Structure 1
Amino acid sequence: MRHHLMNIYRLGIKELWSLRRDPMMIFLIVWTFTAAIYMAATTMPETLHNAPIAIVDEDASALSARIASAFYPPRFTQPARLILNEVDPGLDAGRYTFVLDIPPNFQRDVLAGRSPRIQLNVDATRMSQAFSGNAYVQQIVMGEVNEFVQRYRGSTVPPVDLALRARFNPALEQSWFGGLMEVVNNVTMLSIILTGAALIREREHGTVEHLLVMPVTPTEIMFAKVWACGLVVLVAATLSLNLVIRGALHVPIEGSVLLFLAGTALHLFATTSMGIFMATLARSMPQFGLLLMLTLMPLQILSGSLTPRESMPELVQNLMLLAPTTHYTELSQAILYRGAGLDLVWKPFAYLLVIGAVLFSLSLARFRKAIGQMA
């Protein structure tokens, strides 16, 4: 046993030295866990922020002026004033997301008790702003009209006082979600890339043949790649949590970082095995890159890190229970956001252990077959 452990240790050190001599891979690791995370957190789209809006005021009344003055930053830009024949060119050029057309005699019809129509033109190619912004515009217009008709600014006392309590993110900061989820997604991506690239690099450089004549087994070779690449990602994720998430972004972490890193280690056991399996299928780095895109995007998009799993079709929810990213995302959100302990996240830990063992066994069988073909 001691002999096998020493072989695994020495082969792992060899992997670390090989990685050290690869400047592009070092750059990828540093970029992925620093600048990429910072940009993903700080560029998370707000619900509605500085949406460009223009107003066509065909009424030129006190009510239309009141409506126009109700749109202001930070939700909207300062409204531009257009004439009717400038609407379509402005929308076609992409200068405005919303154009509000207030018809002639609008104020007179409102005071007469009629139901005049006011037109809102929306550039629906800007999905995030168009989806939430049209509701804001309608709410603002109706609020101004109602206050104008009542002759005073105010609101009736609602029969129920709704007390809103935003837990785990009281200020609803977008960076709190974006930064942490980017770390989770990058752990998966980089662990697959490192292990797959390590195996393909050895095949391309011809060093696999050197391993075949050494007194080592395929199991030892694979264990060495798993622990070496997993250790690199684990250290990078730890530094990123402390330096980028806590330091640069000032995002509080509610739960135990050690518990999160333990879950990360189990997840890395599964994803590094997956990277080796994919590398045995690909014959070159370009093929591995194409296979990575086909695999990584569904793993991350359907894991629950971007949208809740409950909003997905039931078939997709059930299939994704076989993916390690689903359980890793669940335990990461529970620990980092809600401060959950092991008593609440032991199930995802258990699932990751089982999935990792299955993936390692499948990858080892495939790796042995690939090694045999090289021999």
Structure 2
Amino acid sequence: MGSSRLWALTLKEFIQLRRDKALLLFFAYAFTLDIYFAGTGVSLQLHRAAFHVQDEDKSYLSRELAGRFLPPYFEAQGAVASDRQALDLLDRGKTMIVFDIPPRFQERILKGETAQVQMLLDATHAPQAFLASSYAAQILGRFGLEQGLALHGMRLEDLDRLPRVESRHRAWYNPNQNDSWFMTLSELLSIITVFSILLPAAAMVREKERGTVEQLLVSPLSPFHIMFPKVLAMTLVILAGTSISLFAIMGPIFHLPMRGSLPLFFALTALYAFTNAGVGLFASTFSRNQAQVGMVSILLVAPMILLSGAWTPPEAMPGWLRAMMLLSPLYYFIEATFGILLKGAPLALLWDDVAGMALLGGGIFAFGAWRFRRQFG
């Protein structure tokens, strides 16, 4: 009798969710188009950075240097005639870089003197500016080396006869360094976090808005029978959304490899969504309507995402903030997910992350359930 009652209440949650058109539309967008936009619209690499050249030397070597900045990293947009025009382009965001090649550039090089090139860089987008500066420094360094060798009648190939240290790097798990894999996975895990909190909270507050919570409280149902079907139904919905993202977007479009055990990944996703539902139950005790649920959910989700390492590498955080990352269940979920899908790691290598997620998530769920029982028990 108890199990049939639970399944009936779980079915009720599916029916109520189906009637919430706005939430369903948001859910469908998040697990499809949002994942697609994250993989195509956000890039961590430098691609066709616009640049202009202020060539005050107008020599063969100045033109040779400007011609070294080629796609796919750089794209020439033309020449500028003055400092004012260069600054105007930077101010209006029409270019990212302006190279100022001074007079007597070629003359200094041919005399064996130091020749300088000024690079004006729009650093409002710091990561892209850092990459552009690094790539430009490599190009300028190689050009300078070639000219220095030419003065002594040598070429770059002649350096092969000299002793040197050669760096050979191999990129594991993502050989082509395809940033769409990282972006789509990070976005998916953030979306799972949002909905694993939002859906159970919205399901409970929906009862408050419609006045049915009082009917549930006077019925023979215990707080467990009120709470568990909502958590179970929303966990199953999140698993369905995750499947759509993986098999309809990330696999076919971005060719995410999914090297590890998919049953293990979905089991951990279910565990993560189930334990995160405790945060949703906690949020529902403070909310009287759906708008309040959204605001409280954002307040709770934001620290979890920011402290997870999804968007900021842990190495870039202060020491005290890295310690706080251990309090975010998403941190463990990210480590486990990347280990399974990209590295093909078995459960034996993921015990630390699984245990951390289970212990921390279990505590969060227990607190949320206690708060729920205290209000509705």
Match of 1:349 in 2: 354
1:280 pairs with one of 277, 285, 290 = 285
State the Cα distance separating 1:353 from its structure 2 match. Answer: 2.3
Number of equivalences: 370
State the Cα distance separating 1:61 from its structure 2 match. Answer: 1.0
Partners of 1:331 and 1:345 within 8 A in 2? yes
Match of 2:38 in 1: 40
Match of 2:65 in 1: 67
Match of 1:136 in 2: 135
CA distance in 2, matches of 1:153, 1:231: 65
Match of 2:207 in 1: 202
SS in 2 for 1:53: strand
Match of 1:58 in 2: 56
CA distance in 2, matches of 1:292, 1:39: 23
Deviation track 1:104-157 (CA, whole Å, cap 9, x = no partner) reads: 011111222322322111111132221111121122123223213323653523
The yes-or-no answer on 1:123 pairing with 2:122 is yes
Counterparts of 1:103-118 in structure 2, within 5 Å, are: 103-118=102-117
CA distance in 2, matches of 1:39, 1:353: 31
Partners of 1:57 and 1:64 within 8 A in 2? yes
Amino acid at match of 1:142: G
Deviation track 1:185-210 (CA, whole Å, cap 9, x = no partner) reads: 11111111111111111111111111
Deviation track 1:262-289 (CA, whole Å, cap 9, x = no partner) reads: 1111101111111111121223322222
CA distance in 2, matches of 1:51, 1:140: 14
CA distance in 2, matches of 1:122, 1:305: 28
CA distance in 2, matches of 1:79, 1:27: 42
Partners of 1:40 and 1:179 within 8 A in 2? yes
Structure 2 length normalisation: TM-score? Answer: 0.93
1:167 pairs with one of 162, 166, 172 = 172
CA distance in 1, matches of 2:144, 2:58: 15
Amino acid at match of 1:368: R
CA distance in 2, matches of 1:130, 1:41: 21
Match of 2:76 in 1: 78
Match of 1:7 in 2: 5
Match of 1:49 in 2: 47
Partners of 1:188 and 1:325 within 8 A in 2? yes
State the Cα distance separating 1:79 from its structure 2 match. Answer: 4.1
CA distance in 1, matches of 2:245, 2:116: 54
> Structure 1 pair 317/147, CA: closer, same or farther in 2 (3 Å)?
same
Partners of 1:15 and 1:225 within 8 A in 2? yes
Deviation track 1:222-278 (CA, whole Å, cap 9, x = no partner) reads: 111110100100121123211211122222111111111111111011111111111
CA distance in 1, matches of 2:352, 2:116: 56
CA distance in 2, matches of 1:283, 1:48: 47
Amino acid at match of 2:101: I
Q: Single out whichever of 280-289 and 19-28 deviates more from structure 2.
A: 280-289
Q: Single out whichever of 277-286 and 202-211 deviates more from structure 2.
A: 277-286
Identity %: 37
Q: For structure 2, which runs of at least 5 residues remain unmatched after alignment?
A: none
> Structure 1 pair 126/320, CA: closer, same or farther in 2 (3 Å)?
closer
State the Cα distance separating 1:77 from its structure 2 match. Answer: 1.1
Q: For structure 1, which runs of at least 5 residues remain unmatched after alignment?
A: none
CA distance in 2, matches of 1:90, 1:352: 50
CA distance in 2, matches of 1:265, 1:117: 59
SS in 2 for 1:56: strand
Partners of 1:97 and 1:126 within 8 A in 2? no
State the Cα distance separating 1:213 from its structure 2 match. Answer: 1.8
Deviation track 1:1-42 (CA, whole Å, cap 9, x = no partner) reads: xx4333322211111110011111211221111111111011
SS in 1 for 2:113: coil
Partners of 1:63 and 1:148 within 8 A in 2? no
Q: Single out whichever of 234-243 and 150-159 deviates more from structure 2.
A: 150-159
Deviation track 1:344-364 (CA, whole Å, cap 9, x = no partner) reads: 112222222222322222112
SS in 1 for 2:54: strand
Match of 1:258 in 2: 263
SS in 1 for 2:255: coil
